[in-house]
Structure 1
Amino acid sequence: MAAAPERTRDRMSRVALELFTAHSYEGTSIQMIATAMGVSKAAVSYHFRTKEELLAAVAEPAFNDLQRFFDEVGAEPGKAAQRRLALKGYVSVLVKHRGLLALLEQDPAAAASPFVREKMTHFAQRLVGLFIEDASNPKEQVYAAVALGGMRNAAAVFSMFSDAELNQYLLAAAERIFGRAAPRKSRASRSPSSGR
């Protein structure tokens, strides 16, 4: 069982996410968080010296889950069955942290936080490498980045769906996107003996 200070920090993080989402990161003060929790501003500042530290605590569970996801699936694209399992795991992470994703989608100040930006950049690059077989192909890199960004965006904006529904719809979309047939070679790249 979590110790009392840890439970308090967790509760502060949950309340902070709710207020950041309702009033924006910049529009939420430490005093607002303290008032919502029924504690003094000093009590919040005891656990989090700055609002930036509080935002990092709000985002950290999602990044920890992403790290666990990579620890489990590895960092290289696998065969179709492995890729499907990886998609399933990634979609689960997106759905679990949809509240944070909604905040980062609608609030540029929160998304621009150095902690958040550094982690997002790091994991975005790893995700692209995981879901494409030809990591040296710029066209495929861009395709994967757009697809993954779309999945993240969908997890953030479709609040009308339950977690189970969103998980189902996101996974179906992801399988269609990443299960597409390999792109055909253009006419110019075919060998002379293959055609006119």
Structure 2
Amino acid sequence: MAERRSDTRQRIQQVALELFTEQGYDKTSLREIAERLEVTKAALYYHFKSKEDIVTALIEDMRGDVTEVVEWASDLPRTPEHRAEIVRHIPTVLTRSMPLLRFAQVNETALRDHPHGADLGQLMWQLLMLLSDEDADAEHQLRSVLAMAALMIGMVPLPIITAPAPERMGAAVKVALELVTGQIQSA
């Protein structure tokens, strides 16, 4: 029974994110989410009392994933090999969090103004900082930022990058690895 409830919560989150992305967070109502799900508003209220509760649950999921990687990576020495390990872990987090990242792109103010949005942003910065050293020169720090950007861009279909998602993500990881290790990666 708990598994069914979890599936229902995930379906609500998925549909809500679709609507938030299509129409915008502010222009989407709980009634519209319930209608798309073909459930009553009361059934939706059983799981989430507000749109903010839906976004909070999504942020908490992503925050847990990012925290796990940050805690693991914080214990690693700052070597090119360990930065490469971190780069290889980030796509898993981004893949699970892609719907929330798309929501954030379209509804930047809703996430920025959300009580937990700043916490998530801070965690993402911690993750980024693990790809660099505080005392590194500007070029090294820039490479770290560009590595994270490459990973995030690799997640999103773009008209200029026509490769299928797995190939696109593989290319993004390769580029990110080159940036954080300073070594050209073989195919």
Report the TM-score when normalising by structure 1. 0.76
Q: Could you say what the CA RMSD is over the residues aligned between the two structures, in angstroms?
A: 2.7
- C-alpha displacement of 1:29: 0.8
SS across alignment from 1:97: helix
Residue 4 of structure 1: aligned partner: 4
More deviation, 157-166/47-56:
157-166
More deviation, 91-100/70-79:
70-79
2:47 counterpart letter in structure 1:
H
Closer, same or farther: CA 141–29 of 1 in aligned 2, 3 Å: farther
Q: Is the 8 A contact 1:12 1:33 kept in 2?
A: yes
- C-alpha displacement of 1:103: 1.8
1:150 counterpart letter in structure 2:
A
Q: Describe how 1:1-196 pairs up with structure 2 within 5 A.
A: 2-74=2-74, 77-133=77-133, 135-136=134-135, 139=138, 143=142, 146-147=145-146, 150-151=149-150, 153-155=152-154, 157-158=156-157, 162-180=164-182
- C-alpha displacement of 1:143: 2.1
Give distance in 2, aligned partners of 1:137 and 1:78. 11
SS across alignment from 2:49: coil
Identity of aligned residues (%): 24
Task: Note the residue ranges of structure 1 that are not aligned, 5 or more in a row.
Answer: 182-196
- C-alpha displacement of 1:59: 2.9
Give distance in 2, aligned partners of 1:125 and 1:57. 21
More deviation, 124-133/107-116:
107-116
Give distance in 2, aligned partners of 1:166 and 1:62. 22
Give distance in 2, aligned partners of 1:102 and 1:155. 13
